[in-house]
């Protein structure tokens, strides 16, 4: 999911996928062959054979694509694959239990305001596509799709729809299932331990902040409207706890974008919401991570609070660790071997940060790590096989896009340069491959033009570090 902020207006420009594969011990960048076609809002699915399948999306001119490409990490090469039967963008791609990939719905033209009702399946063994004979019960684009524990795929919502349906890969059949009580945008969707799916909050028709929640039962194929949460929530977080309950924290609660410090628990056995203790301060757009010991770690967000909140589900209480060096958001956090969390870069009220710090989960104490070699935010951080953390791209001081990469050694806390890419990049993704390398895809950068306006530039080259 992409969260748009004031800083992300440039993401609405045409983009593409380009890649970097990273060898953990490499020290310089070298170029790879470019993708056959520039694309954005595509899907990328890891296959069982280790390759990655890139499907559809919009090209540089904004037209949906039918073209498909495969990336082979062993060779670092892109090769064209058989095309889909129709162009698709804003579609879903779901890996099925047998290794095939279901691609469903989407937009076939730029002006398409309804979406497609068709689906097709890619077979990585034969490299062929098979059109699903049965049409989807409703055309859509921008849906959410989840492969459930029973192997079926649940598709919900999309373009102002509350409709849901399931796909059974054993029969290649679609079944209309229960409709959500209303459309939802910016809500959370959480698969429960028992296989049910919980939807909470968000914004509904007309942009209203929603207090409702509902749960989907894959056995009966129905949604059950639950009691309302205690507060409406949007841009909140939901975390599945080891005891089977769901912890919902913070978020916006009204039209003035006011955030809340409240938290509440959903009990799937009783089907009820109960307020639990408040966090130390209001938070929205924060991160919430379940730790190996079952606690939930809350870091950052645009709250003005440098404290780190930790929720203990056994006692229902929050505690705060030692104060971090300052407030930050749009940072990166990586769980390291040995029970530590490294937080690096990001934004604060003073601008882009170069600082980093480490949280020891055994003592719940922060220790300052070495500064990054360059202040950066909106970058990608990847934990490498040797325990180092790699930071690539993002914004530097003055909102300048960065081409530089750097790595941190957790044992020493020191950051060292890791070379520079041929181009800066923002909005990129990083996928850890089976062989320990990292595939970085997508992104763009901007260039100042005569007259003082910025042009978003899409680059079709790829690079190997």
DSSP readout, 290-324? Answer: E-TTS-EEEE--TTS--PPEEEETTTTEEEE-SPP
User: What are the angstrom distances between the C-alpha of 153 and each of 47, 184, 318?
Assistant: 17, 19, 36
The gap from C-alpha 311 to its chain's centroid, in whole angstroms, comes to 23
Residue with tokens 């340069």: 417
Categorize the per-residue pLDDT at 368 as very low, low, confident or very high, splitting at 50, 70 and 90: low
What is the rounded CA–CA span in Å between residue 149 and residue 164? 17
Tens of pLDDT along 427-449?
A: 787 777 777 777 777 777 777 67
Which carries the bigger pLDDT value, residue 224 or residue 337? 224
| Beta strand pairing call for 462-464 and 19-22 | parallel
Query: How many CA within 13 A on the CB side of residue 403?
Result: 14
Min mean pLDDT across 33-37, 106-110, 293-297 is at 33-37
Checking if the pLDDT of 181 tops 50, the result is yes
Sign of CA dihedral 122, 128, 129, 130: negative
The per-residue pLDDT for 24 is 30
Say how many CA atoms lie within 13 Å of 24 toward its Cβ: 15
pLDDT digits (tens, 9 = 90+) for 248-284: 999 889 867 788 999 999 999 999 999 999 998 888 8
Dihedral angle sign, alpha carbons of residues 44, 381, 281, 264: positive
Beta bridge partners of 154: 146, 166
- State the Cα angle at 318 between 360 and 267, rounded to 5°: 115
Q: Which of 82, 92, 144 is nearest to 116 (CA)?
A: 92
Strand partners, 204: none
3-state helix, strand and coil shares in percent for the chain, rounded to the nearest 5: 5, 40, 55
Q: Rounded to whole angstroms, how far apart are CA atoms 232 and 227?
A: 12
Confidence (pLDDT) at 221: 87
Amino acid 341: pLDDT: 64
CA pair distance 379, 402, nearest whole angstrom: 9
Q: Which carries the bigger pLDDT value, residue 355 or residue 189?
A: 189
Task: Please count the other Cβ atoms lying within 10 Å of the Cβ belonging to residue 312.
Answer: 14
Half-sphere exposure of 140 toward its Cβ, with a 13 Å CA cutoff?
23
Give the containing element (helix H, strand E) for 336.
strand 332-336
Tell me: the pLDDT tens digits for 32-68?
446 677 777 777 788 888 777 888 888 777 789 899 9
**Residue 174 in this model has a pLDDT that exceeds 50:** yes
For residue 380, give both structure tokens. Answer: 């990608």
Q: Are 101 and 89 in contact (CB under 8 A)?
A: no
pLDDT value at residue 452: 63
451 DSSP 8-state letter: T
Residue 11 has pLDDT above 60, yes or no: no
Decide if pLDDT at 137 tops 80: yes
Per-residue pLDDT at 199: 86
425 vs 454: CA distance, rounded Å: 15
pLDDT in tens, 308-319: 788 999 999 998
Chain mean pLDDT for the chain: 78
In 3D space, the residue among 365, 362, 283, 363 whose CA is nearest the CA of residue 327 turns out to be: 283
For the segment 280-306, the average pLDDT, to the nearest whole number, is: 80
340 pLDDT band, cuts 50/70/90, is low
Q: How far apart (Å, rounded) are the C-alpha atoms in residues 25 and 414?
A: 16
- Res 313: pLDDT: 95
Residue 415's DSSP bridge partners are 408
Residue 3 exposed, middle or buried by CB count within 10 Å (0-12, 13-18, 19+): exposed
β-strands 404-409, 77-81 pairing: unpaired
DSSP-assigned letters across all residues of 198-247? EEE--B-GGG-B---EEEEETTTTEEEEPPPPSS--BS-EEEE-TTS-EE
Burial 278-305, CB ≥16 within 10 A → b, else e: ebbbbbbbbbbebeeeebbbbbbbbbeb
Residue 162 in contact with residue 179, Cβ under 8 Å? Answer: yes
């Amino acid at each position: 999911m992409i969260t748009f902020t004031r800083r992300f207006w440039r993401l609405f420009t045409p983009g593409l996928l380009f890649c970097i594969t990273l060898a953990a011990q490499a020290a310089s960048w070298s170029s790879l062959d470019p993708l056959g076609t520039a694309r954005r809002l595509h899907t990328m699915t890891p296959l069982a054979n280790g390759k990655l399948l890139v499907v559809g999306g919009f090209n540089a001119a904004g037209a949906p694509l039918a073209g498909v490409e495969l990336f082979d990490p062993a060779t670092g090469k892109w090769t064209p694959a058989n095309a889909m039967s129709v162009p698709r963008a804003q579609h879903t791609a779901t890996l099925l239990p047998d290794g095939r990939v279901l691609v469903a719905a989407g937009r076939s033209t730029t002006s398409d305001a309804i979406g497609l009702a068709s689906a097709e399946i890619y077979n990585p063994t034969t490299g062929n596509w098979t059109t699903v004979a049965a049409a989807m019960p409703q055309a859509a684009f921008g849906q959410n799709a989840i492969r459930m524990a029973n192997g079926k795929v649940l598709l919900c919502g999309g373009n102002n729809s509350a409709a849901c349906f399931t796909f059974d890969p054993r029969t290649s059949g679609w079944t209309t299932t229960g409709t959500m009580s209303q459309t939802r945008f910016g809500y959370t969707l959480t698969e429960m331990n028992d296989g049910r799916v919980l939807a909470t909050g968000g914004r509904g028709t007309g942009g209203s902040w929603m207090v409702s929640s509902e749960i989907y039962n894959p056995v009966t194929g129905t949604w059950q409207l639950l009691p309302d949460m205690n507060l409406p929530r949007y841009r909140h977080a939901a975390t599945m706890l080891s005891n089977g309950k769901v912890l919902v924290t913070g978020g916006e609660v009204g039209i003035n974008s006011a955030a809340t410090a409240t938290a509440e628990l959903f009990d799937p056995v009783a089907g009820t919401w109960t307020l639990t203790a408040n966090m130390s301060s209001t938070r929205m757009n924060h991160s919430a991570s379940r730790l190996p010991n079952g606690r939930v770690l809350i870091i950052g967000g645009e709250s003005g609070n440098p404290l780190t909140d930790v929720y203990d589900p056994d006692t229902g209480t929050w505690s705060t660790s030692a104060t971090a060096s300052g407030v930050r958001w749009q940072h990166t956090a990586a769980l390291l071997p040995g029970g530590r969390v490294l937080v690096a870069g990001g934004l604060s009220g003073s601008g882009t940060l170069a600082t980093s710090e480490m949280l020891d989960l055994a003592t719940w104490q922060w220790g300052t790590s070495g500064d990054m070699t360059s202040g950066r935010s909106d970058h990608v951080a990847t934990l490498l096989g040797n325990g180092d953390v790699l930071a690539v791209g993002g914004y530097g001081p003055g909102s300048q896009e960065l081409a530089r990469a750097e790595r941190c050694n957790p044992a020493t806390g020191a950051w060292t340069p890791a070379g520079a890419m041929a181009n800066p990049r923002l909005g990129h993704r990083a996928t850890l491959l089976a062989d320990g390398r990292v595939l970085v895809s997508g992104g763009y950068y901007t260039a100042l033009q005569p007259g003082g306006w910025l042009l978003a530039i899409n680059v079709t080259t790829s690079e190997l570090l």
